[in-house]
């Protein structure tokens, strides 16, 4: 009952972290039936595709035991020589099949869970030697399902093969009444078709088993809502610690911003609620860059620091709000504000020239700004 209640509580899909940890332990969905079907089909397909060469190798193996002279019959070297030649022919016959089945065995896991090499899966686990636990696994639901699958496979494959043998009974009997070569060809063909049929049935069973294994794997790794919350806290860290880290990061960024402020060419203000400092180096920058910005109290500090370092303050409320809304710190302004900012920078340059010559200050610019650029600060 406790296990059932636990399964009912685990209603959430497994997280990426849980899936990754399971893979690191070597726990990934696997279907032995699907892997077996792929291996069998690969071997059978290789044999059938090379049917003529395979028959030739088999004929030679039989011939080695039947074709020898009288002198060779009484020679001590005959058994070794025949065995050696037969082994060479057998290796030539089975090598393509072995290579195909080896590649299929390596590729089959990719169809379901992918390749996984885990050192943790190789570690010895003493609890597996416990006979009581072993009996528990055998009589558990998963063990009963595996038993039912094995019986179903045995019944299905056995029934189909018996029906095939009955259907081919006359052909099988005919192989012993004709020529040896023709009998070998027929026997080899019947064997190939039977093996192909067996592999096809196993592939159907493996496909169904793969779907079940995927479902069972996902079910085993499902999580409760509390586990998801605990994992989220573990991954994200302590909220108080994160808040403290963010506060320290903000303070450091603010300190760096104030240190860069004396290098600004101009500070554009709202005049009281917003302040944005711009710097433009024609040789290194493609456009003016925001090196400091703030609202309310921080805006007041920016104005005070700028005034103490004789950085010009220019009132342009719409432009100040648009710069604050559109441009992140230490980023270049968008192209849509080039003209407006150029007017302000030209005004600052003219203001410095007028101060040097003792002329009257130029009129303040009033750049036109698209209200949509101000974002939430339109009003």
CATH 2.60.40.3500 is held by the domain 252-377 = no
Q: Which of 115-129, 146-160, 364-378 has the lowest mean pLDDT?
A: 115-129
Mean pLDDT, rounded, for 149-171: 80
Q: What is the spatial distance between Cα 193 and Cα 188, in angstroms, rounded to a whole number?
A: 9
Q: Are 365 and 354 in contact (CB under 8 A)?
A: no
pLDDT tier for residue 277 given thresholds of 50, 70 and 90: very high
pLDDT for the residue numbered 276: 92
Q: What value does the mean pLDDT take over residues 318-328? A: 90
Q: What is the pLDDT of residue 236?
A: 61
User: Quick one: pLDDT at residue 5?
Assistant: 47
As a whole number of angstroms, the distance between CA 149 and CA 351 comes to 89
Count of CA atoms in the C-beta half-sphere (13 A) of 249: 6
Distance of alpha carbon 159 from alpha carbon 147, whole angstroms: 18
Give residues with Cβ within 8 angstroms of 377, minimum separation 6. Answer: 274, 321, 322, 324, 325
| Three state DSSP letters for 222-255 | CECHHHHHHHHHHHHCCHHHHHHHHHHHHHHHHH
Residue 278 reports pLDDT greater than 80:
yes
| Mean pLDDT, all residues of the chain | 78
Task: Give the other-Cβ count within 10 Å of 82's Cβ.
Answer: 16
Taking only the tens place, the pLDDT of each residue in 44-71 is 888 777 767 777 777 777 776 666 655 6
Q: Look up tokens 């379901």; give the residue.
A: 112
Instruction: Round to whole Å and give the CA distance between 262 and 307.
Output: 9
CA distances from 262 to 217, 254, 278 (A): 62, 14, 11
CA distances from 170 to 163, 175, 339 (A): 13, 9, 95
Average pLDDT for residues 281-303, to the nearest whole number?
A: 88
Largest CA distance in the chain: 130
Residue 119 has pLDDT above 60, yes or no: no
pLDDT digits (tens, 9 = 90+) for 296-311: 888 899 899 888 888 8
Residue 312 has pLDDT above 70, yes or no: yes
| pLDDT value of residue 74 | 62
9-28: average pLDDT:
76
Tell me which of 93 and 117 has the higher pLDDT: 93
pLDDT, greater one: 103 or 6 = 103
State percent of the chain over pLDDT 90.
6
* pLDDT score for 267: 92
Mean pLDDT in residue range 201-223: 83
- For residue 15, pLDDT over 70 is answered with yes
> CB neighbours of 108 closer than 8 A, spacing ≥ 6?
34, 35, 38, 39
What is the per-residue pLDDT for 115?
A: 60
**pLDDT at position 1 over 50:** no
Domain ranges within the chain, ordered by starting residue? 2-114+168-233, 252-377
Q: What is residue 16's predicted lDDT score, i.e. its pLDDT? A: 79
Residue 96 has pLDDT above 80, yes or no: yes
Judging by beta carbons within 10 Å of its beta carbon (0-12, 13-18, 19+), is residue 181 exposed, middle or buried?
A: exposed
- pTM for the full model? 0.46
Rounded mean pLDDT, 337-358: 88
Contact partners, residue 266, CB within 8 Å, separation at least 6: 277, 278, 311, 312, 313, 314, 344, 345, 348
Start-end of H helices in the chain: 2-9, 16-24, 32-49, 51-64, 70-73, 78-107, 131-138, 141-167, 169-174, 180-220, 225-236, 239-260, 297-308, 317-326, 338-357
pLDDT at 370 over 80: yes
To the nearest whole percent, how much of the chain has pLDDT over 70? 78
Q: Are 250 and 242 a contacting pair, CB within 8 Å?
A: no
Interval 212-235 mean pLDDT: 79
């Amino acid at each position: 009952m406790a296990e059932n209640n636990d399964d009912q509580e685990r209603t959430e899909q497994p997280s990426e972290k849980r899936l990754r940890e399971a893979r690191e332990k070597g726990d990934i969905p696997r279907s032995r039936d699907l892997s077996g079907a792929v291996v069998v089909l690969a071997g059978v397909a290789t044999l059938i595709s090379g049917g003529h060469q395979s028959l030739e190798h088999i004929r030679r193996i039989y011939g080695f035991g039947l074709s020898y002279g009288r002198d060779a019959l009484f020679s001590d070297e005959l058994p070794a020589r025949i065995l050696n030649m037969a082994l060479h022919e057998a290796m030539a016959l089975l090598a393509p099949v072995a290579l195909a089945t080896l590649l299929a065995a390596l590729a089959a896991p990719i169809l379901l869970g992918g390749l996984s090499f885990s050192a943790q899966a190789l570690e010895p686990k003493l609890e597996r030697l416990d006979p009581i636990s072993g009996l528990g696994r055998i009589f558990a639901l998963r063990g009963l399902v595996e038993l039912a699958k094995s019986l179903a496979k045995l019944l299905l494959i056995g029934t189909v093969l018996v029906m095939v043998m009955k259907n081919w009974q006359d052909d099988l009997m005919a192989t012993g009444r004709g020529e040896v070569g023709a009998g070998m060809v027929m026997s080899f063909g019947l064997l190939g078709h039977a093996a192909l049929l067996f592999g096809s049935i196993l592939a159907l069973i493996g496909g169904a088993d793969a779907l079940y294994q995927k479902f069972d794997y996902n079910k085993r790794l499902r999580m409760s809502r509390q586990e998801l919350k605990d994992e989220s806290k573990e991954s994200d860290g302590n909220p108080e610690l994160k808040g403290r880290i963010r506060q320290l990061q903000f303070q450091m960024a603010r300190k760096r911003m104030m240190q860069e402020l004396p290098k600004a060419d101009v500070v554009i203000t709202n005049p009281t609620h917003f302040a944005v400092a711009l710097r433009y180096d024609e040789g290194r920058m493609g456009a003016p860059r925001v090196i400091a910005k703030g609202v309310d109290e921080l805006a007041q500090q920016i104005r005070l620091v700028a005034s103490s370092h004789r950085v010009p303050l220019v009132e342009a409320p719409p432009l100040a709000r648009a710069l604050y809304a559109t441009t992140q710190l230490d980023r270049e302004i968008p192209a849509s504000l080039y003209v407006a900012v150029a007017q302000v920078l030209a005004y600052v340059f003219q203001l410095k020239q007028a101060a040097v010559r003792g002329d009257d200050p130029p009129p303040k610019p009033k750049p036109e700004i698209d209200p949509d650029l101000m974002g939430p600060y339109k009003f």
